[in-house]
A and B are shown apart, each in its own frame.
Chain A
Amino acid sequence: MKPLLDIRNLKKHFPVRGGFFRRVVGQLKAVDDVSFRIPRGQTFGLVGESGCGKSTLGRAILRLHEPTSGRVMLDGTDITALDRRELVAQRRNMQIIFQDPYASLSPRRTVMQTLLEPMEIHRIGTPDSRRRKVLELLDIVGMSSKILHRYPHEFSGGQRQRIGIARALTLDPKFIVADEAVSALDVSVQSQVLNLIARLQREMHLSFLFISHDLAVVQHISHQVGVMYLGKLVEIAPAIDLYRDPRHPYTRALLSAIPVPEPGRKSKRIILEGDVPSPLNPPSGCPFRTRCPEAMPVCAEQLPDLKAIHDGDDPHQVACHLY
């Protein structure tokens, strides 16, 4: 089956300026040659530490950041080749949910206005059908129609995030980027919103790119998971496999570092030395080699390719010279 989203060799480099004349003195490779696919109706989880490029990747796919090179195929359409007008039309199919529900809703618009706006911009339906759609969406995200004329400041974080999700659904998208969508929420509310996202995806057959720094949340919500480090995907695997049998030394360290809510259980922790190198001056060869407990001479010379270590419909892929 053809995937809904097919990303090939996507790059996003930001020019770095410096010196007296603000000349371009280097390239910050925020996303560097990333390829993966998301099947229809599935969630691809993207994990990595701050600065690894996961948010930039999410935005480059939607062309909120213009990609430097590479292709993004959404349901057979090459998003990277569209002109401005075509892109606006395609935006119906791809939406984003942001981290901060306090900042992503306009404080001056009522819930009704916020939810009507996308349909008005895209000239979808009649005023009547739009209102019906808004009511239907509120019901889907579990909110009462009584709140239609209220403003964002009257809601809690969890309720705001539900409104953000309803807004993303107004245009019946095929694909949604959720960028740290539950990270700002308290635990008891976070699990409610996660269940909502999982239900929507099953019932509406949506595809998600779920970006998060929280590995447990990502495991729960995702079918496949990709691990990013310094702008590159270092491992991709079905969610259960990745956590049961992590292969890349970085994935292993990352998983071992999560504090487990079970007192007395002393996990064997792989403590990584040092900090993430500056993306302005990445190491030669494998980007992880400066902190890798398994680093070999070849790692400094050659960049390892992302290759499948076992086949199947969902292959487990690793970019490491150990395999």
Chain B
Amino acid sequence: MTSPLLRVRDLVVEFSTERGLVRAIDGVSFDIMPGETLGLVGESGCGKSVTSLAILGLIPSPPGRIVSGSIQLQGRELTGLSEAEYRHIRGKEISMIFQEPMTAFNPVFSIATQMIDVLVRHQGMSRRQARNRAIEMLALVGIPAPEKRIDEYPHQMSGGMRQRVMIAMALSCNPKLLLADEPTTALDVTTQAQVLEQIVKLQEELGTSVVLVTHDLGVVAEACDRAVVMYAGRVAEEAPIRCLFEQPRHPYTEGLLKSIPRIREEKLPELPTIPGSVPDLLHLPPGCRFGDRCYKADEICHRREPRLELRSDIAVACHHPNTYAAPAPCPES
């Protein structure tokens, strides 16, 4: 049994807003194993981005605050670290890529300057060495003529190209963990395919663990080994990818999978839907947060909030989870 690279336990993050104290995530737990790609999925407001910001130590404070819980990177507690201590971890041990690669770069510096600075700072390389390493990384993510393009500025590149440079930069210090927050959402499908392919390939070559935060279940199916489905600040279900898609336990996961429009041979007269909408975190329903929208909900669901229960490698927070006769088609874990 290998120990997890990152262990998140009972994490609670609150934000104080004009309307009151909002608990953006409320008791989130999961592990990331070395070399695996974990999907963090859910709809807007489910807490997936807040979770990844918390891991990076980037919760803006105030108004945000980690109230309780723990985040351990290889046994080292990250919550409570000072900003100076966190700076040694960010970019070096944990790297990130964001949705909008244009805003993540500094527009007044060339790609070369930005990549070299990171390497000099974290790896203690000379500028000469750092430049060579940066060119190597750009070649690895499929940038044509990297020795020339490295001297360009972010605005001279297309969206897909910028996102690939972002990946190269994030991986240049050999981080143990890469957090990718909606890395392909702003891209067109054909470019998205290139970038996803790149992430999967690098992940295999370098053995980096990846957390892929996304709302797109297609992207999860394509790139992840396991996924955590979040709803209204809590984990609804966590499972290896094939179990999750073929045998969803939580009615929310089930509804989400059914309502994605997919290319079909025949047209459906109607798309299946989940009634209602995501609850306001300030006015959560009593009991299960999904209760109001769930076709299985009964009296107990509206009274008591279900706990996340772990059975082998599947975890589900539901009073009436789906059961399946045939064993789950899980890969060896």
Contacts and interface: CB of A to CB of B under 8 A. Distances in A.
Interface of A: 49-50, 156-159, 186-192, 194-195, 198, 213-217, 219-220, 239-240, 243-244, 253-264, 269, 271-272, 275-276
B105 interface: no
B189 A156 contact: no
A191 B190 contact: no
A189 B271 CA distance: 11
Given A49-B190, A220-B268, A260-B262, 8 more contacts: A158-B277, A194-B261, A213-B188, A216-B262, A257-B190, A259-B221, A261-B221, A263-B246
B161 interface: yes
Interface of B: 43-44, 158, 160-161, 188-194, 196-197, 215-222, 241-242, 245-246, 255-257, 259-268, 270-275, 277-278, 293
Contacts of B264: 219-220
B57 to A, nearest CB: 28
Shortest beta-carbon contacts, A-B, top 3: A259-B218, A49-B188, A186-B43
Nearest to B223: A259
Contacts of A187: 43, 215, 217, 256, 259-260
A263 B242 CA distance: 6
Contact of B267 (A49, A220, A257, A275): A220
Given A261-B217, A269-B193, A275-B158, A198 B263 contact: no
28 contacts: A49-B188, A50-B188, A158-B277, A186-B44, A187-B260, A191-B259, A191-B273, A192-B275, A194-B261, A195-B273, A213-B188, A215-B189, A220-B271, A240-B267, A254-B189, A255-B263, A257-B192, A258-B263, A259-B192, A259-B193, A259-B196, A259-B216, A260-B221, A261-B217, A261-B245, A263-B221, A263-B245, A275-B191
Nearest to B218: A259
A262 B244 CA distance: 10
A156 B218 contact: no
A195 B188 contact: no
Q: In this complex, which of B215, B217, B219, B261 has the most chain A Cβ atoms within 10 angstroms of its Cβ?
A: B261
A186 B252 CA distance: 13
A287 to B, nearest CB: 15
A258 B278 contact: no
A269 B273 CA distance: 30
Nearest to B197: A271
Contacts of B189: 49, 213, 215, 254, 257-258
Nearest to B186: A50
A190 B261 CA distance: 9
Contact of B277 (A50, A189, A271): A189
A285 B194 CA distance: 26
Contact of A260 (B194, B218, B267): B218
Given A195-B270, A220-B268, A262-B221, A186 B262 contact: no
B193 A271 contact: yes
Contacts of A189: 277
A257 B193 contact: yes
A220 B265 CA distance: 11
Contacts of A192: 273, 275
Nearest to B246: A263
Contacts of A158: 277
A191 B255 CA distance: 11
A188 B190 contact: no
Contacts of A263: 221-222, 241-242, 245-246
A264 B242 contact: yes
A303 to B, nearest CB: 22
Q: In this complex, which of B160, B189, B219 has the most chain A Cβ atoms within 10 angstroms of its Cβ?
A: B189
Contact of A191 (B196, B263, B271): B271
A226 B198 CA distance: 30
Nearest to B158: A275
B273 A188 contact: yes
Nearest to A182: B261
B110 to A, nearest CB: 20
Contacts of B216: 259
A60 to B, nearest CB: 22
Contacts of A156: 277-278
Contacts of B256: 187-188
A259 B219 CA distance: 6
B260 to A, nearest CB: 6
A272 B219 contact: no
B221 A254 contact: no
A261 B263 contact: no
Contacts of A272: 190, 194
B193 A275 contact: no
A275 B267 CA distance: 32
Nearest to A291: B190
Nearest to A222: B267
A243 B266 CA distance: 10
Contacts of A257: 189-190, 192-193
Nearest to B257: A261
Nearest to B44: A186
A263 to B, nearest CB: 4
B102 to A, nearest CB: 13
A153 to B, nearest CB: 11
Given A259-B196, A259-B221, A261-B217, A159 B190 contact: no
Q: In this complex, which of B158, B193, B196, B275 has the most chain A Cβ atoms within 10 angstroms of its Cβ?
A: B193
Nearest to B43: A186
Contact of A216 (B261, B272, B293): B261
Contact of B265 (A194, A244, A261, A269): A244
A188 B194 contact: no
B270 A198 contact: yes
B242 to A, nearest CB: 5
